[in-house]
Amino acid sequence: MNWQAIEWGAMLPELIVLGTSLLLILLDLFLRKTVSRRPLGFLALLGVAGAFSALVLQLHEPSIQLFHDMYRVDGFSKTFKMLLLIGTFLVLCLAYDAKLGREENVRGEFYYLILTALVGAMFMASSADMITLFIGLELLSVSSYIMAGLKKHDAQSTEAAFKYVVSGGIATAITLFGMSYLFGLSGETNLYSMAKALQETALPDQSYMLVFAFFITFTGLAFKIASVPFHMWAPDVYEGAMVPVTAFLSVVSKTAGFIFIIRFFVLVFMMSKGVNSDSLLQQVQPYIIWLSGITMLVGSIIALRQSNVKRLFAYSSIAQAGFILAAFSVFTPALFETMWFYLFAYVLMNIGAFAVIQEVTTRNNDTGMTSFEGLGKQSPWLALAMTIFLLSLAGIPATVGFIGKFGILIALLGYGGLHYVLAGILIAATLLSYVYYFNLIVQMYFRTGEVKEKRRSQKGLLIVTIVCAAATVIFGIVPNIALHFFYEQFSISTFLQL
Amino acid sequence: MVHYAFMIPLFPLLSFLLHLLFRKRVRSIAPILGCICTLVPLVLSVGVLIARFQGTTYTKEIEWLSLGKTAITMGVVITPLNAMMLVIVSLVSFLVHVYSKEYMKDSERLGTYYSYLGLFTFAMLGLVMSVNVVQLYIFWELVGVGSFLLIGFHYTSLAARAAAKKAFIMTRIGDVGLLIGIILLYWKTGSFSFAAIFQSVASGGISQEMITVTALLIFVGAIGKSGQLPLHTWLPDAMEGPTPVSALIHAATMVAAGVYLVAIMYPLFLASSVAMTTVAVIGGITAIFAASIGLVQDDLKRVLAYSTVSQLGYMMLALGSGGYDAGVFHLMTHAFFKALLFLAAGSVIHAVHTQNIREMGGLWNKLKFTGPLFVVGALSLSGFPLFAGFFSKDAIFAAVYHDGRYVLFFIALLTAFLTSLYMFRLVFLVFFGPAAEKIYRENSIILLAPMVVLGILAVVAGYIGSSWFGAPLQRFLHDGTTSLPLEAHGPVWLPYVAILISLAGIGVAYVRYGRRKDFHHENTSSSPVTMLLKNKYYVDEVYGVIFVKGAAFIGTIFVFVERYIIEGMVGTLASTVQWLAKCGSAFQNGQVQRYGAVAITGLALMLLLFIVLTGGYLQ
């Protein structure tokens, strides 16, 4: 391999993040224990910002492939990496303000683990090969396991990490098992060659195996996006982990999971033959629809009974995964834009909500819903921001969440058939979500809580809430800015082309 | 003037933002700021109305959102219907802003209150000017948010919180129908814009079944917002909000939005006789149902709330019977006299500090202005001759009669009787009869002035739709369009019957409630000279009892229907969901082995299902 021939510039964003994380590891290792690790957070933020700028510079360059077509920098990877970088930047701001208490010594570790997880997620976005996809997935997962258990003196955090590792192990095993079927059937690891191979040699018996492979890998990946049937870990882990970690898991990690799902399933299964049908993906479509519907309902119904705000958001994020899966169940070009836009909306509104949750729960040292009582009076701006995020999550117009949901509904109702049922379920789940989101709003405005001491202003938190709230409203009013960007960057032909 | 139409909703939005940002600092000038920010739109709206009167329909739109091939615009359209609505909304909103200055002056959160009012007015004006159904839907939902905030304004009260949530979620159920309806319409007609949809409907570009389905789905949205059966229960509860808010939202604007929705989508409804019948029947049933419940309520505002539900039912009945002009006409007159009644009720409540009509009485001499104004509103609502309500109700009767559904026609007449009965029950109980000993002072001019304006309109607004003057309103509404049905003319005897019914209701109310004092007196003095009189009175009393008790009996039955059947069904659904939630939470037992097992079982089930469904290896 000629090292000079490789266009390293195409990987610049990943390299910057990776380099920053290595730098942080070294600094954390060699700096004296007494030195505060807080400034390292700045470095991490700088790294992510640098990667983001590098990505922006790449936007107008043509798509290329590296390392024997294992690694692809195309419109799909660039647009979705953008979401990952924005999400991680915001999470890092939250992490900067996180109160670690006894665990203050792990702060440095915390920062670089977020970065390594991000590198894994970005790898997934650019992978065109099962091996790199899997490596990216594991890099993301392993970093996340540690992050979940970062507070090692806190029993709940440790328990969360343990459950996360065990569930994650099962998920990885299942995913790998499914992938091995695919490798066995096609003899390839590259997604594009695999798609070609599977298309050409379609023996009837193979189709069954292929469908099996689909179900198995799908179940494994359901873990990453926290959808049925692999969703049950989420409430426990979300509750136990620190708020920035929860935000990371529910947003960045979930986005990465969806990136994997889109790239992998659309490429490999769209063209391959199913049993008695032309496209395998068409054949399993009803299953995706039902899984999406059940995911929405499970998330929304159980959320009704939650009194812990982090658990509530865990179930809400399960329901949100169901919404995004609904967008995935529509096999038209609209799939990409609706999923991208919904994830974009989700990054903004969910991280914003977690920012407020972090502030409120630290202030009260309590993660119950009641900690939001009287927030409207004590911190009107914080309450206003939270209201915007909740309205957006509920899909009320003039917020970005509405546009996202509206796009999904349009796509569903344009497809017809079973999708009408799914649209009905989506609506029902949305109605249920009004109940639990508005419960929080009622807590904030319509109840008076005891007056708590205000903490000194939190810079990271301030940035996150302002940026997220403003973006939630702005992109709700002029959504075309984001959509135009996506159309400009993404084209389905470069996505499908070998 | 029309070119400035886009600025109309911006001022209330500005009011919302300013009050929100400086709600602590501007407390003293909050009402004035609010009033100015609604006075400007009022002036502009009147200008736009005049401009539309002289000109043609004005449309201005810009592309807002492109989802794949779907391009959605935002903009402003000025048709006769929405030019009229603009004036109604901005006028009532302005008057309510003025009224609130006095009514809410003791509120600690005056700035917040005005900011909510601004948000609501902005959303409502935006809704009215919408150029396509998506824009309409967006503002439709924002109106719901504004209403949620205003109903729950007295958040310390448990009832207000519950009412706000109920209003929001119940109207949302309707909105869902609307949303699905408009998206389906889009897929079947290829456009969100009103004109293109109607074009497609007219040219047969959409199947008959689809027209019916989408029209009904859109009507579900109207049912939720306009408090029609069975989604009406939120409206009486919403009376927990401040009274001026009730005048604004629950009389003139938001609840009328459902009627307005049916009116602007009218060509779609006209194309489906099933949809038209549904609208008429739901409207008719709601009208009589709510009117009879209004008869047995003791809370001043709740009576008015049920009355609103009933009158909205009237409008739906008119629209469903092909009486487009009649429905819109009644929408306008109702906005004025019902807002008047609410504001007058607010004035009464402000003076006596109770809402229970059993604790009131004899206020006529004490509230020298409020009393007559309330009576003007009541007369207008009862369809008393020469008042606004008389003309619009008459138009509705004519439309329903012309349509030939005689059962609905009979229901409409019966409802008219009940309406004047419950209204004058209020009048006699509140303003006449034995007075409490306390001294009440008439409210200040700031409370009275808006009522006077509405009082004048509640009298004169009827004439613009009256055929005596060549029905200018109807001609205006038909300007530039040919797709709307022409106004129906009822038989000559109809106005006389209407008058008779209206007077009968008032008369029965007088007999039953208006002579409470006399009744006491006569009972104590059993002089034989008055025997004859007494007997005569007794006959009257019997009639009174038959009518009133009979109607009240129906009312009580309907109260039961509402409480146990409608609310019961909702309750059952809610408890089922809660039960499911409980099971779901219990299943989440914290054991990680269960989580893994669920995943594997889920996978196995999927594989099994697939094999069973496709045959597979089992063959």
pLDDT tens, A37-95?
Answer: 788 888 889 999 999 998 888 888 777 877 777 888 888 888 999 999 999 999 999 88
Positions of chain B with pLDDT lower than 70, given as ranges: 23-27, 68, 435-443, 467, 469-470, 480, 482-483, 487-488, 515-552, 554-555, 562, 566, 615-619
Question: What is the count of structural domains for chain A?
Answer: 1
Residue in chain A lying closest to B598 (CA): A229
**CA triple B48-B51-B52, angle to 5 deg:** 85
Q: Is residue A494 part of a domain?
A: yes
Residues A172/A135, Cβ–Cβ less than 8 Å: no
Q: What is the pLDDT of residue A389?
A: 92
Query: Which residue has better confidence, A4 or A227?
Result: A227
What average pLDDT does the structure give for chain A? 86
Q: What is the pLDDT of residue B392?
A: 85
Q: What is the pLDDT of residue B73?
A: 83
Q: What is the pLDDT of residue B522?
A: 36
Q: What is the pTM of this model?
A: 0.84
Q: What percent of chain A has pLDDT over 70?
A: 95
Distances (CA, A) of B131 to A203, A409, B61, B90: 55, 21, 7, 19
Residues 6+ apart with CB under 8 A from B579: none
Residues B149/B119, Cβ–Cβ less than 8 Å: yes
Q: What is the pLDDT of residue B534?
A: 45
Chain B residue numbers with beta carbons less than 8 Å from the beta carbon of A208 are 616-617
Would you call B565 exposed, middle or buried from its count of C-beta atoms within 10 A (0-12, 13-18, 19+)? exposed
Q: How far is it, in rounded angstroms, from Cα A415 to Cα B161? A: 40
Q: What percent of chain A has pLDDT over 90?
A: 28
Q: How many CB atoms lie within 10 A of CB A275?
A: 19
Chain B residue numbers with beta carbons less than 8 Å from the beta carbon of A303 are 581
Residues B460/B473, Cβ–Cβ less than 8 Å: no
B residues 132..191 contacting A (CB < 8 A): 134, 137-139, 141-142, 145, 152, 155-156, 160-161, 164-165, 168-169, 172-173, 176, 179-180, 183-184, 186-187
**Contact call for A480 and B65, based on CB within 8 A:** yes
Q: What is the DSSP letter of B565?
A: I
Q: Is residue A343 part of a domain?
A: yes
Residue in chain B lying closest to A388 (CA): B145
φ, ψ at B333 (rounded to 5°): -65, -40
Q: Is residue A223 part of a domain?
A: no
Residues B147/B160, Cβ–Cβ less than 8 Å: no
Q: Is residue A485 part of a domain?
A: yes
Sign of CA dihedral B260, B265, B268, B271: positive
Residues B454/B416, Cβ–Cβ less than 8 Å: no
Would you call B372 exposed, middle or buried from its count of C-beta atoms within 10 A (0-12, 13-18, 19+)? middle
Interface test with B, best of A162, A212, A288, A302 (most B CBs within 10 A): A302
Q: Is residue A237 part of a domain?
A: no
Would you call B258 exposed, middle or buried from its count of C-beta atoms within 10 A (0-12, 13-18, 19+)? buried
Q: What is the pLDDT of residue A204?
A: 64
Q: How far is it, in rounded angstroms, from Cα B253 to Cα B247? A: 9
Q: What is the pLDDT of residue A319?
A: 92
Q: What is the pLDDT of residue B537?
A: 47
Q: Is residue A85 part of a domain?
A: no
Q: How far is it, in rounded angstroms, from Cα B111 to Cα B113? A: 5
Q: Is residue A415 part of a domain?
A: yes
Would you call B540 exposed, middle or buried from its count of C-beta atoms within 10 A (0-12, 13-18, 19+)? middle
Residues A93/A460, Cβ–Cβ less than 8 Å: yes
Chain A residue numbers with beta carbons less than 8 Å from the beta carbon of B596 are 166-167, 170
Q: What is the pLDDT of residue A455?
A: 63
Query: Which residue has better confidence, A440 or B567?
Result: A440
Q: Is residue A20 part of a domain?
A: no
Q: What is the DSSP letter of A453?
A: P
- Specify the residue for token string 């309103």: B473
Residues B276/B218, Cβ–Cβ less than 8 Å: no
**Contact call for A208 and B617, based on CB within 8 A:** yes
Q: How many CB atoms lie within 10 A of CB A135?
A: 15
Residue A178 has pLDDT above 80, yes or no: yes
Domain residues for the domain of A408 are 287-498
**Contact call for B606 and A215, based on CB within 8 A:** yes
Q: What is the pLDDT of residue B521?
A: 37
Residues 6+ apart with CB under 8 A from A430: A300, A394, A395, A405, B176
Closest CA to B390 of B343, B448, B326: B326
Q: CB-CB: which of B179, B578, B594 is closest to A304?
A: B578
